[in-house]
Amino acid sequence: MNDESGRDSGRIRIRVMDYFAQQFINGVSLGAIYGLIAIGYTMVYGIIGMINFAHGEIYMIGAFIALMVVVAFGISEGGLVVLALLSALLVSMALTSLYGWVLERVAYRPLRGTQRLAALISAIGMSIALQNYVQLTQGARVKTLPPIIRGGFEFQFGNTEFIVRLSTLQILIVVVTLALMAIFALLIAKTALGRAQRACQQDQSMAALLGVNVDRTISLTFVMGAALASVAGLMVTLYYGVIDFFVGFIAGVKAFTAAVLGGIGSIPGAMLGGLLIGLTEAMWSGYFSIEYKDVATFSILVIVLIFLPTGILGTPEVEKV
């Protein structure tokens, strides 16, 4: 009897660990997507000190563009999957980069140098405008995409019925996210554009006096952030298979929270914040009521900011005199 009880308790412990491992995998995949979007927020804020609240809608537009390209290839009818995904990625990045450039020219550049509240209101207005633009052109109904990337790995620990699944798409999401984060970190640290961005971040007037084209640098920053958001849009479309015109607002708020949590202005901080947000949502949804996962996420943000006002990897802002 004692042996049977011991075996039962052992199975329960293994099942608990299996479930934890599955939620951890789901959380890392979701967090990687949040991190990609958050990098766009943190890059723009790092240079002009303003929050691009229309960035979530840029991500949503990227998702719609990717969906249309994939559907145009007729994947369900035996189209070339790799060619379709590469085409969707390139077209989505190109067009969303154009949207990001236009957004900077229309909503931010005319208001640069004015009060930050004016640019904030302009960004919120652009967010609403882009939402309604997509709703009018694509409709209010949810768009669906059947699974394209299948396969993966299955793990079963001990004598339990629970199977831990790690899909090929989840691996792809994490690998692509880490690769893009490394590329952009090196770009900012080692290239002339990165030096110009860091100069504009410190002092735009002095950077202009030293020959830096401030307008072009800021525009390219918006373009880079939009391109990253489009990659996240493609990943979400493949991962969940459903998108609508409102998906950008929700993801944008979560990504902005991730950027603040990790330390806005820091690319590694944005990725760290995204992973923390994704893990919090996955773990809370797995062990508690899913309706309160957002409450748990923002509660952690508040707690962290009480003790670390600049975020986990953020640096205190030095007042220029």
Residue 87: what are its φ and ψ, rounded to 5°? -65, -45
Report CA 107 to chain centroid distance, whole Å. Answer: 22
Between these two residues, 132 and 149, which has the higher pLDDT value? 132
Residue 126 has pLDDT above 60, yes or no: yes
**Relative orientation angle of helices 81-103 and 214-240, to the nearest 10 degrees:** 140
Q: Do residues 311 and 41 make contact, with C-beta atoms less than 8 angstroms apart? A: no
Residue 9: what are its φ and ψ, rounded to 5°? -65, -35
Q: Do residues 171 and 179 make contact, with C-beta atoms less than 8 angstroms apart? A: no
Average pLDDT on 274-284 reads 90
Model confidence at 77, pLDDT cuts 50, 70, 90, reads very low
Residue 30 has pLDDT above 50, yes or no: yes
Could you tell me the CA-to-CA distances from 2 to 10, 14, 79, 116, 159 in Å, in that order?
12, 18, 59, 69, 18
Amino acid at 256: F
Burial status of residue 119 (CB atoms within 10 A of its CB: 0-12, 13-18, 19 or more): buried
Give the per-residue pLDDT at 277.
92
Would you state the torsion angle of the CA atoms of residues 48, 309, 31, 277, taken in this order, to the nearest 10 degrees?
-130
Residue 62 has pLDDT above 90, yes or no: yes
pLDDT tens-digit map of 155-196: 776 666 677 888 999 999 999 988 988 888 888 888 898 889
Residue 99 has pLDDT above 90, yes or no: yes
User: Structure tokens of 186?
Assistant: 């090196």
Could you tell me the CA-to-CA distances from 20 to 82, 169, 283, 284 in Å, in that order?
33, 20, 8, 11
Give the per-residue pLDDT at 321.
47
Residue 293: what are its φ and ψ, rounded to 5°? -65, -35
pLDDT tens-digit map of 213-267: 988 999 999 999 899 899 999 998 999 888 988 888 888 888 888 888 888 878 8
Burial profile 279-315: b = 16 or more Cβ within 10 angstroms, e = fewer: bbbbbbbbeeeeeebbebbeebbeebeeeeebbbbbe
